[in-house]
Amino acid sequence: MDSAGSTTTDETKVKIACIQMQPAIGEVEANVAHSIELINRAAALGAKLVVLPELCNSGYVFKSREEAFAASEPVPAGPTVKAWSEIAAKHRLHLVAGICERDGAKLFNSAVLIGPDGYIGTFRKVHLWNEENLYFEPGDLGFPVFHTAIGRIGIAICYDGWFPETYRLAALQGADIVCVPTNWVPIPGQAKGREAMANILAMAAAHSNSIYIACADRVGTERGQPFEGQSLIVNYTGWPVAGPASRDREELLLAEVALGEARRARNWNAFNQVLRDRRSDLYDEMLGSHIKRGWY
């Protein structure tokens, strides 16, 4: 509030970068080195929140669980998180990146959040897609929202975005933004040349929850599987503020936003507020009634 009691509008803005890249299957050291090159490029352009694709350190299309296990590492003690922590500290930025995580004998398709002072937390993909079920355990950490110096950050991975609960539970916990490391693939019924269905879902989720969504996809074809590209950053209104990127090239998307505006703008008019208007008396058990409210 200013001295007159009115709300100020000069809220600190954060420059977000979504890095669209092409990792190589099993080439962990080279993939991480390449990601650091791209993070350096984003930092040079002023990015303070950087999002990398799903499983960007390991590649995606594993032939066996043994191959996936060989490309995995513990979090946060492994070399990938250490390397990413060093670059985040160097540039004083926050980083969300997909990683093949090993926890004892279990493997998880995970994403880490790292800040200027090091590792902050982990999200484990909740909804596994296709043959991921052969290699990974379903995520067991729920949908945490991490409070950071730049804003409240939620995370989802790829197929999690097909479930409205993913974004709604993040919003109910006060998230300003959900970062989405992803490996989108063509889906049945998709006409040639149409935008990725994931783009449409991200735009709808951002609008219906009043949150920013930043999606970093990969490109290329890996063992016969093509990927969609089309990374994008979506405003809390549901409209893209950067992207969609191309389908087939490595790219860097940038958008400068005031993250806190996502929560302020949830009051659409004198009568309607998108989270407050939920009829939780009718569908309370379906949509996370145990989540603490009052942050939106």
For 148, other C-beta atoms within 10 Å of its C-beta total 17
Contacts for 151 with CB less than 8 Å, ≥ 6 apart: 14, 176, 177, 259, 260
The answer as to whether 65 is a domain residue is yes
pLDDT in tens, 242-267: 999 999 999 999 999 999 888 888 88
User: For residues 38 and 288, is the Cβ–Cβ distance under 8 A?
Assistant: no
pLDDT in tens, 93-109: 999 999 999 999 999 99
> What's the pLDDT score for residue 190?
78
SS3 31: helix
From the list 54, 132, 251, 261, the catalytic residue is 54
Tens digit of pLDDT at every position of the chain (296 positions): 333 443 444 468 999 999 999 999 999 999 999 999 999 999 999 999 999 999 999 999 999 999 999 999 999 999 999 999 999 999 999 999 999 999 999 999 999 999 999 999 999 999 999 999 999 999 999 999 999 999 999 999 999 999 999 999 999 999 999 999 999 998 888 788 788 899 999 999 999 999 999 999 999 999 999 999 999 999 999 999 999 999 999 999 999 999 988 888 888 888 888 888 888 777 765 555 454 544 44
Based on the residue annotation, tell me whether 82 is a catalytic residue of this protein: no
- Contacts made by residues 81-85, CB under 8 angstroms, sequence distance 24+: 81/112, 81/114, 81/119, 83/32, 83/36, 84/32, 84/35, 84/36, 84/39, 84/112, 84/114, 85/114, 85/118, 85/119
Compute the Cα dihedral for 288, 263, 177, 173 and give only its sign. Answer: negative
> What's the pLDDT score for residue 265?
83
The answer as to whether 3 is a domain residue is no
From the list 158, 179, 215, 261, the catalytic residue is 158
The answer as to whether 59 is a domain residue is yes
Tokens of 32: 């991480």
Based on the residue annotation, tell me whether 125 is a catalytic residue of this protein: yes
The answer as to whether 262 is a domain residue is yes
Domain interval for residue 200:
14-287
216 has which bridge partners? 181
From the list 100, 101, 125, 132, the catalytic residue is 125
How many domains does the chain fold into?
1
SS3 159: helix
The answer as to whether 1 is a domain residue is no
> What's the pLDDT score for residue 281?
79
The answer as to whether 122 is a domain residue is yes
Q: Which amino acid is at 233?
A: I
Read off the CATH number of the domain in which 242 is found. Answer: 3.60.110.10
Residue with tokens 């050291």: 29
Q: Of 18, 102, 100, 114, nearest to 54 (Cα)?
A: 100
The answer as to whether 50 is a domain residue is yes
The answer as to whether 185 is a domain residue is yes
Based on the residue annotation, tell me whether 158 is a catalytic residue of this protein: yes
